[in-house]
Amino acid sequence: MKKRYQYITCIFILYALVVVAQLFISCNESAKADSNNSNTSAGFVIDTAKIPHDQFGEAVKYGRQLMLHTAYYIGPDGINEKRYAGNKMNCTNCHQDAGTKPYAFNLVTTFRNYPQYRAREGRVSSLAERVNNCITRPLLGKPLPLDSKEMIAIMSYLKWLSDSSYVNNNAKGLKNIEIPLPDIAASSERGAQLYTTNCARCHGASGEGQLRYDKVTYAYPPLWGLNAYQPGSSMHRIVKMAQWLVPNMPYDKATHDKPFLTPAQALDLAAFINDDRIHQRPFVKDFQYPNYGEKPIDYDRGPFNDPFSDTQHKYGPFKPIIAYWAGKGFKPTY
């Protein structure tokens, strides 16, 4: 009888040990998933624990930090001697999770796609030049010298991202979400109302954002005003911004598989935020696109090689513009 009792106790203890061990393993795994920033739902995994422990790895890590904490390093109040950026925004404000978040202007395979022809400049550009486009336009900065520690770090990070794991070029989340375009034009007035209800609590009633406690960067980045992105940035284009808003904003409510805004609402919000008749932005002179016919349909500065007005290019309706170009055998970009 006693033996049997000991036997049952033994089995029970063994069972308890197995349960505890399993709990321990699963806790550990979820902690690992958090720290390693996996994006398995999108069809690719970026594991920052695999950044090599050598000089190249150091450059990759610095590049990643630069994207996450741009203002802390190279912003107007940054710790570096060279304060390349002209405002206090960070790359990750748009390329979220340092370019690894799906559907947030993802940069995971970017390194594979350059040099490439850029309609904007009307010539083939290198990836370093493309990085400098974002330093100068959204961050109002001065171009990083090609041999600077910062440019080499950002390039190393982008290279590591595209090599770091097997990322299929067709993986979900690398390209922007496609949104259906409505038959009517986007409306800045409707957008203003949506903004007050859904966005002002973080980005401020006047779109000015909220600086972080130390004032080096933002807790909530600005959407317009003299400290926000330039009108020459792609974020200033309404369809492009709406493709980003649907999966990503409001920050605490939207995910790509459970968006909060409808595409039409996102277009109205983008129309309001980017309405230069009511909102100021930093002044720029060069709007480029030397070949007018290559302008994206939602670019707002003429001249265009089609019969549509600047206003229709800015706010839509976009379908007639697409149909016009399709009739000529072209697939317009937006």
Angle between helix axes 263-273 and 188-198 (nearest 10 degrees) is 100
Nearer to ligand HEC, 218 or 304 (CB): 218
3-state secondary structure of 116: strand
Nearer to ligand HEC, 93 or 312 (CB): 93
Question: Tokens standing for 301?
Answer: 């500065």
Minimum Å distance from CB 100 to ligand HEC?
Answer: 11
Minimum Å distance from CB 6 to ligand HEC?
Answer: 58
Nearer to ligand HEC, 160 or 229 (CB): 229
C-alpha to C-alpha distances, 221 to 87, 140, 209, 262, nearest whole angstrom:
10, 14, 5, 22
Contact 297, 332 (CB under 8 A): yes
| Residue in the block written with tokens 């229709």 | 312
Minimum Å distance from CB 245 to ligand HEC?
Answer: 5
Minimum Å distance from CB 286 to ligand HEC?
Answer: 17
Minimum Å distance from CB 113 to ligand HEC?
Answer: 6
Nearer to ligand HEC, 14 or 200 (CB): 200
C-alpha to C-alpha distances, 203 to 75, 196, 250, 266, nearest whole angstrom:
20, 10, 10, 16
Contact 203, 225 (CB under 8 A): no
Minimum Å distance from CB 154 to ligand HEC?
Answer: 5
Q: Could you give phi then psi for residue 135, rounded to 5 degrees? A: -65, -40
Q: Could you give phi then psi for residue 153, rounded to 5 degrees? A: -65, -45
Binding site for ligand HEC (CB under 6 A): 67, 70, 89, 91-96, 105, 107, 110, 113, 130-131, 134-135, 138-139, 154, 176, 198-199, 201-203, 220-223, 229, 233-235, 240, 245, 249-252, 261, 269
Nearer to ligand HEC, 134 or 167 (CB): 134
Minimum Å distance from CB 202 to ligand HEC?
Answer: 3
What is d(CA 295, CA 320) in angstroms, rounded to the nearest whole number? 16
| Residue in the block written with tokens 């049997």 | 4
Nearer to ligand HEC, 13 or 322 (CB): 322
Q: With the C-alpha atoms ordered 142, 143, 145, 149, is the resulting torsion angle positive or negative? A: positive
Nearer to ligand HEC, 162 or 165 (CB): 162
